[in-house]
Chains A and B, each alone.
Chain A
Amino acid sequence: MKILVSVKRVIDFNVKVRVRPDGTGVETANVKMSMNPFDEIAVEEAIRLKEKGIATEVIAVSCGGAACQETLRTALALGADRAILVLTDVELQPLAVAKLLRALVQKELPQIVLLGKQAIDDDANQTGQMLAALLDWPQATFASKVDVAGATATVKREVDGGLETVEVALPAVVTTDLRLNEPRYATLPNIMKAKKKPLDTLAPEALGVDVAPRLVTVKVTEPAKRKGGGRVADVKELVAKLRNEAKILS
């Protein structure tokens, strides 16, 4: 079976994000960009399914500007077989990405689509669920364990208060949570090999998808600063302050 895995190029998780002074967004010029960490986990899971002999081909997809090619090359270096870039400079929101992925799914006919549960830039946590709805497929979100046997995937999901197990009939959408796996590092020979793997580029129009944003960003602001930095000398002073100053403890 084929697996489609979707990867997003985001500001690296180690970068301290700065809001632009004009409030139109956050500073992205000269900022280190990387693959969304949850998507790395999705790529890793897809590759492991191929190594187990369950998947026959792993196709990585990214939607966005030309620089997303780098992200796709990373996925190829990790072990994806080929890549597709849906090239556009329009700001892509989750519904638009879900529609682009639906169009690609209808072309490629994968049995599983793997995505990160959320991207660490917009923190939306929507695309996988939206894709599943548009395809009328079942979904297994926030996965911490995935077992594929025959036409069924059994997925342990991270939910509030513990774990839930769901069985979904394939084809299905699976979104990854942190504990699913630990992604490998790309080796130098694999990075070199990845340069020769096929990477196709498509326009949203070629897929017949209208990607116009539905949400208008009015402004982006800094969070309110917290006044911290207070110190206490010992446990006695801490308890006294909590009782008498903060009045949290009676």
Chain B
Amino acid sequence: MSILVIAEHDNASLKSATLHAITAARKLGDDIHVLVAGGDAGAAVAAAAAIAGVGRVLHVDADHLRQPTAENVAATTLAVVARGGYTHVLAAATSFGKNVAPRIAATLDVAQISDITGIEAPDTFVRPIYAGNAFATVRSMDPIKVITVRTTAFDAAPATGGSAVIEEIPAGPEIRTSKVTGQEFSKSERPELTSARIVVSGGRGMGSGENFRLLEALADRLNAAIGASRAAVDAGFVPNDYQVGQTGKIVAPDLYVAVGISGAIQHLAGMKDSKVIVAINKDAEAPIFQIADYGLVGDLFEIIPALTRELSA
């Protein structure tokens, strides 16, 4: 069993999603290689080599991987797979991993197993289907298993304690038919939505984007990330990268506070694995209350400021 994990990074640092993918890899076997393909990504390479359980870090340094496209990451990964004889290729099921992994699988002529939440055997995996309303256990018949890992289903591997061998290897061919020409990232001092310990989310009940300030005050008090339901995104209250749900981000924080969210299946699919769920909604019949540990029926415009005050007391 030889496992390749494709690291997600911005050259300067490793994304935490990679730590979760490595935990999944460790359930498959002990021979774990991490591929860091980037441009001047020495810091990310050092971080990868320090992760407990990683045996080898494969460092590919090339200008065309500095701001990589799916085409180029896939081409380099395929070159690495061709020389390495891996049985498994893993990536986190982030927008990066989802973009790249199927290209690798198709070129290898193997199926991809998307978004796994469990590993039953080296060829048998559990994954959610129908927005998590069912779970399928699937067995792969292919020689190489290309997998994306649902980060919330596997703990983060310890970021320290490892001392992997670092090997410099050449890049795959550069593909020029695609290039990244711009990035707009929402700047925030808050924790990242998918890795925050506490998430405060607003729904259509917030009424406007302006009213999300109420949630910001609460989130600041709790050091929480801010999320939203698809209804709030569709209404234009907040940007799409706030979206929690089947078609947005999957989160599983210690505490999820759903404010003015009715609890559509679509939304529940993205947050129902949270440890503790608080629901605040004026409609006592809202489906969100059926899965909430602590439901509070009432006007959010009174409750949220009162809650923020109470927490500051």
Q: Which residues of A come within 8 Å of B, CB atoms?
A: 11, 13, 16-17, 19, 26, 93-95, 98, 118, 120-134, 137-142, 144, 154, 157-169, 172, 177-179, 214-223, 226, 228-236, 238-239, 241-242, 246, 248-249
Report if B37 contacts A (CB, 8 A).
no
On B, residues with C-beta under 8 Å from A are: 69-71, 74, 94-96, 98-107, 109-115, 124, 128-142, 175, 177-186, 192, 194, 198, 222, 230, 233-234, 239-241, 246-247, 249, 254-255, 265-266, 272, 275-278, 289-297, 303, 306-307, 310-311
Which residue, of A13, A144, A159, A241, has the highest number of chain B Cβ atoms within 10 A? A159
User: Please, how many angstroms separate the alpha-carbon atoms of A142 and B115 in the complex?
Assistant: 17
Cβ A166 vs Cβ B178 within 8 A: yes
A120-B130, A126-B112, A215-B139 are contacts. A133–B74 as well, Cβ < 8 Å?
Answer: yes
Is A218 a contact of B289 with CB atoms below 8 Å?
no
A217, B277: Cα distance in complex, Å? 32
Using known A-B contacts A120-B130, A178-B230, determine if residue A215 contacts B141 with beta carbons closer than 8 Å.
yes
Instruction: Please name all residues of chain B whose beta carbon is closer than 8 Å to the beta carbon of A142 when the two chains form the complex.
Output: 95, 99
Closest-CB distance, A221 to chain B (whole angstroms):
5
Is A159 within 8 A of B96, CB to CB? yes
Q: Which one of A132, A144, A165 contacts B183 once the chains associate, using CB atoms below 8 Å?
A: A165
B148 to chain A, nearest CB (A): 8
**B102 and A231 contact, CB distance less than 8 A:** no
Number of A-B residue pairs having CB atoms within 8 Å of each other in the complex: 248
A30 to chain B, nearest CB (A): 17
CB distance from A8 to the nearest CB of B (A): 14
Q: How far is the CB of A115 from chain B (nearest CB, A)?
A: 12
Do B134 and A134 touch across chains, with their CB atoms under 8 A apart? no
In the complex formed, the residue of B with least CB distance to A178 is B247
Inter-chain pairs besides A144-B240, A217-B137, A218-B138, 17 sampled, C-beta below 8 Å: A94-B111, A94-B112, A120-B131, A126-B101, A129-B70, A133-B106, A133-B107, A134-B106, A142-B95, A154-B181, A160-B95, A162-B239, A166-B181, A215-B140, A221-B135, A223-B135, A238-B278
A121 to B130: give the CA distance in the assembly, Å: 5
Given contacts A26-B134, A179-B240, A215-B141, contact A126 B105 (CB under 8 A): yes
Would you call A219 and B294 a contact (CB within 8 A)? no
Question: Smallest distance from the beta carbon of A37 to chain B beta carbons, Å?
Answer: 9
Please state if A160 and B94 are interface contacts (CB–CB under 8 Å): yes
Chain A residues with Cβ below 8 Å from B230 are: 178
Listed by A's residue number, 11 A-B pairs whose Cβ atoms lie within 8 Å are: A120-B246, A140-B178, A165-B182, A219-B137, A229-B290, A231-B294, A235-B310, A236-B310, A246-B294, A248-B255, A249-B255
User: Per a CB cutoff under 8 Å, which of A121, A160, A168 touches B178?
Assistant: A168
Which residues of B sit under 8 angstroms from A126, Cβ to Cβ?
101-102, 105, 112, 114
Is there contact, CB below 8 Å, between A158 and B240?
A: yes
Residues of A contacting B104 in the complex (Cβ-Cβ under 8 angstroms): 133
The residue from B102, B181, B255, B277 contacting A129, defined by CB atoms under 8 A apart: B102
